[in-house]
Amino acid sequence: MKILVLMKQVPDTASPISVSNNQVDASKIDKYAASPYDEYALEQALQVKDKDASTKITLVAMGPARVREMIMQGLAMGADDAMIIKAENAGEMDGLTVAHVLAAAAKKTGFDLIFAGSKGVDDDQGWAGIALAELLGLPLITTTRSTTVAGATVRCQRDVEGGKETVEAALPALITSGQATEPRYPTLKGIMGAKKKPIQETDVAGLGVSGDLLAPRVQMVKLDMPPARQAGRILQGEPADQVKELARLLREQAKVI
């Protein structure tokens, strides 16, 4: 069985973002990492492989040279090989363009199952994975928590409003991961082994994607910091007095209760 895991590199979720000239100030980003949902996706794929060692996992990433670091981490966690699509301008592509590129990549590598994150936590659009399923005509299961494969059937657990559900589809299929099991850490052996795993490099033109498909349908024209929240008032006195004062302020000043 062959699994593709699509991975996007983003600024680490714990680091603040600074903006200058309508762009994220790259010099202020302390760390890039795989988008958390992509890591959950990889973990779900690795759990499928844990149960069936014949499974091969290929990581697919598009972006500037630094994505190699993320790929090495994914290989160290247990993926078998990778394809890097070099694109300095990947950040300016909209989700549909990304999906067209990934569709070409997926056709080239072949697959039985594709995992994507439910959204990249940079542009937060959540478009590429779903668009890819549409372009490839695959059954789509979104925001999953865990996945098992039995024969030619994939079965996913997902959280739904006020409950849980189990969804099945025949392979080939595409799954977008929600928050799932914490991704495993690479072992020392994994880190050493990753260096020997094959990484194929290509670019958008090399995949035969060109023309209209690359023209963005939406384009970011402005980027700002969100309005800062002023730290407010710390109430004083005994807890009972603080609470009375709080209730009064919420009613009379803030008018929210």
Partner 1 sequence: MANNILVVAEYGDGKFKSITHQLLGEAGRLAAQTGGTVEAVAIGNGVKDAAGQLGAYGAGKVYAADDASLKDYDGASYAPVLVELVKRTQPMMIFLGATPMGLTLGPRLATQLQCALTSDCTAFALDGGAISVTRPVYGGRAVAVYQVKKLPLVATLRQNAFAPAAGGGAATAVDALTVTPVALKTKVVEMTKAETGKIELTEAPIVISGGRGMQGPENFAMLESLASVLGGAVGATRAVVDAGWRPYSEQVGQTGKTVSPTLYIAAGVSGAMQHLVGMKTSKVIVAINKDPEAPIFKVADYGIVADAMQVVPLLTEACRQLKA
Ligand X SMILES: Cc1cc2nc3c(=O)[nH]c(=O)nc-3n(C[C@H](O)[C@H](O)[C@H](O)COP(=O)(O)OP(=O)(O)OC[C@H]3O[C@@H](n4cnc5c(N)ncnc54)[C@H](O)[C@@H]3O)c2cc1C
Residues 137-196 that bind partner 1 (CB under 8 A): 138-143, 145, 155, 159-170, 173, 178-179, 182
Contacts with 56 (C-beta within 8 Å, 6 or more apart), sequence order? 1, 2, 3, 80, 81
Q: Which does 145 bind (CB under 5 to 8 A by kind): partner 1, ligand X, none?
A: partner 1
Distance CA 158, CA 142 (A): 8
> Could you say which residues in the range 64-103 bind partner 1, by CB under 8 A?
94-96, 99
For residue 55, CA distances in Å to 45, 68, 111 come to 9, 23, 11
> Could you say which residues in the range 32-61 bind partner 1, by CB under 8 A?
36-37
Q: Which does 234 bind (CB under 5 to 8 A by kind): partner 1, ligand X, none?
A: partner 1
Q: From the CB of residue 12, how many other CB atoms can be counted at a distance below 10 Å?
A: 13
Stretch that binds partner 1, among 45-53, 66-74, 120-128, 202-210 (CB under 8 A): 120-128
Antiparallel, parallel or unpaired: β 173-177 and 19-20: unpaired
Q: Among 11, 36, 95, 117, which residue sits at the site for ligand X (rule: CB under 6 A)?
A: 36
Question: Is position 187 an interface residue for ligand X (rule: CB under 6 A)?
Answer: no
Say which residue the tokens 């890591």 belong to: 39
Residues that bind ligand X (CB under 6 A): 13, 36
